[in-house]
Amino acid sequence: MRILGINCMNHDAAMAVVDYSSGIGEILWAAHSERYSKVKNDHYLNQKIVDEANTFGPFDKVVYYEKPLLKKTRQLYAGQYGLAISYTEMPQWHLDHFGIKIDEYVKHHDSHAAAGYFTSPFKDQGATILTVDAIGEWDTVSISTADKTWVERKETIQYPHSIGILYSAFTHRCGLKPAEEEYILMGMAAYGTPKYKQKIYDDFVEQSPFKLKKNLHRGLSDWEPNADVMDIAASIQAVTEELLADLWTRASKYGSRNLVYAGGVALNCAANRVLANMGLFDNIWIIPNPGDAGSSLGCIAAHEKRHLKWEHPFLGHNIDGEYPVDALIKELKENKMVGVASGKAEFGPRALGNRSLLADPRGEDIKDLVNSIKKRQKFRPFAPAILEEDVNDYFELPKAVQNTPYMQFTAACTHGKDFPAIIHHDNTSRVQTVRKTDNPGFHALLTEWKKQTGCPILLNTSLNIKGQPIVNDREDGKAFTNKYGVKVLG
């Protein structure tokens, strides 16, 4: 049985294809719509991504990642009457344009939970699943237990009480785009002090059990108009970490030492470090695409209630050819920076070596240089990629974290003065550990780079410009080179 999974009509539309003919789900392909349309966080599908999906067809079934009629009841409650009554906001209306008919619908949080659990290494051990996001149909937090293929919901928090909405409201208050630039707010937090933490609780939040005192779906307006936005960022980050700590504690009471953490809030890698250091779990699994786009894969697993064969996140558009190790090192030595677009694109928001902008992390000017190319704010940090066997010599990983191949945890750097380009203001880095089994080409590059230079680290950031999607195909790579003067090899 070959199944197509779809997420659309929300931020970051995506498609995935899974083949269950061998019993366990083989992930044939999974990709983000934005990479084909060139519209950042595209809500909709387009003909190019549909055409690529169809190369893996025909499909025995099409599954959608949430239940739109149930969602419309929440939209009515929230006063979003235009969305609630509009037929054109129904996913089947959109998919009719591409000749796709939805066969099955799965609840939003069930899709998140399944994307996490059914890709996890806990198939035979079971796990507790914690899902935290802005909002599904109604659910904003859910805790489930999992054993083999049985997943059972234990606790739920519903709209308007949402940690994700709370964080997005503060994203907007700090002059950023909500539901898109929360990761920038997370980076800003290191530059401020959490002086407004108690006022956030006083004005908006009841902590334990979590509850919002008012609906923040429409934002905060001009709350604390004279405050430094860095202090606001630090304050909401601190509040979020405390609220999540309560949820992790609640999840731990179900007995498993394995945690599957899902939903868009799981992308907050600074909070993940704090939470992992609580010592509540021995093993933590976060799929590299825990937000809504990953639910295009999760809805398939949730409907089938069968495990997926998870090997790596390189599931998208393929650029044929060998990984250009020698050419990349030559360019890094000569110009300190190079792009790579080789092999299958990453499924998730973070470049992990196949659609990356790479740089030598040792120079004092490298961080500003890369930020100027990418047109990013100067305060934003960059991630280091390092061979898994070297990571403990340079970084202090959180408890319960043996490796972090998908950049899901920050870690203190013990050699920060040697690598200024990958150190954030708080002396942490969003580390990517690299194994040969995950990405042989990128592993070979890091191995050869270390051999030739003595440097075990490369700066790794996504091959894109702020506000634009990550490079997808050869034509995108050529356009990047022509416009920004940085070679893209592949």
**Is the CB of residue 134 less than 8 Å from the CB of residue 162?**
yes
pLDDT above 90 (res 481): yes
DSSP code string of 251-281:
HHTTS-SEEEEESGGGG-HHHHHHHHTT---
- Do the Cβ atoms of 37 and 48 come closer than 8 Å? yes
- Res 198 pLDDT > 90: yes
Q: What is the mean pLDDT of residues 432-451?
A: 97
- Taking a C-beta distance cutoff of 8 angstroms, is the pair 135, 74 a contact? yes
Instruction: Name the phi and psi angles at 14, rounded to 5.
Output: -155, 165
User: What would the mean pLDDT of 129-148 be, rounded to a whole number?
Assistant: 97
pTM: 0.96
Closest listed residue to residue 468, CA positions, set 394, 374, 379: 374
179 and 166 Cβ atoms separated by less than 8 Å: no
Q: What does the pLDDT look like over 228-267, one tens digit per residue?
A: 999 999 999 999 999 999 999 999 999 999 999 999 999 9
pLDDT at 141 over 90: yes
SS3 state at 486: coil
Q: Contact, 228 vs 379, CB < 8 A?
A: no
* Residue 300 near residue 3, CB atoms below 8 Å: yes
Give 294-339 pLDDT, tens digit per residue. 999 999 999 999 999 999 999 999 999 999 999 999 999 999 999 9
- Which residues are paired to 488 by β-bridges? 339
- In angstroms, the CA 354 to CA 340 distance is 6
Q: Return the axis-axis angle of helices 325-335 and 440-453, rounded to nearest 10°.
A: 40
150 bridge partner residues: 147
Residue 173, sorted as left (phi over 0), alpha (psi -120 to 50) or beta, turns out to be alpha
Task: Give me the domains of the chain, ranges plus CATH numbers.
Answer: 2-119+288-310 (3.30.420.40), 158-284 (3.30.420.40), 315-489 (3.90.870.20)
Taking residues 223-227, report their average pLDDT. Answer: 97
- Residue 350 pLDDT > 90, yes or no? yes
List the strands of the sheet with 127-132, edge to edge.
150-158, 139-147, 127-132, 258-262, 283-285
Q: How far apart are CA 398 and CA 114, in angstroms?
A: 25
Q: What is the pLDDT of residue 376?
A: 80
Q: Over the stretch 99-127, which tens digit does the pLDDT of each residue have?
A: 999 999 999 999 999 999 999 999 999 99
**Residue 11, pLDDT score:** 86
Cα–Cα–Cα angle for 211, 214, 215, rounded to 5 degrees = 95
Give the DSSP letter of residue 117. H
| Segment 167-191, tens digit of pLDDT | 999 999 999 999 999 999 999 999 9
- Residue 92: predicted pLDDT: 97
What token pair was written down for 323? 């990984």
| C-alpha–C-alpha distance, residues 245 and 482, integer Å | 47
User: Which phi and psi (to 5°) does residue 240 adopt?
Assistant: -60, -45
Whether 370 shows a pLDDT value over 90: the answer reads no
Q: CA-to-CA distance for 243 and 99, rounded, in angstroms?
A: 44
Whole-number pLDDT of residue 363: 82
What are the start-end ranges of the E strands in 439-489? 457-462, 488-489
**Mean pLDDT score across all residues of the chain:** 96
Residue 397 is given by DSSP the state P
Residue 417 DSSP label: G
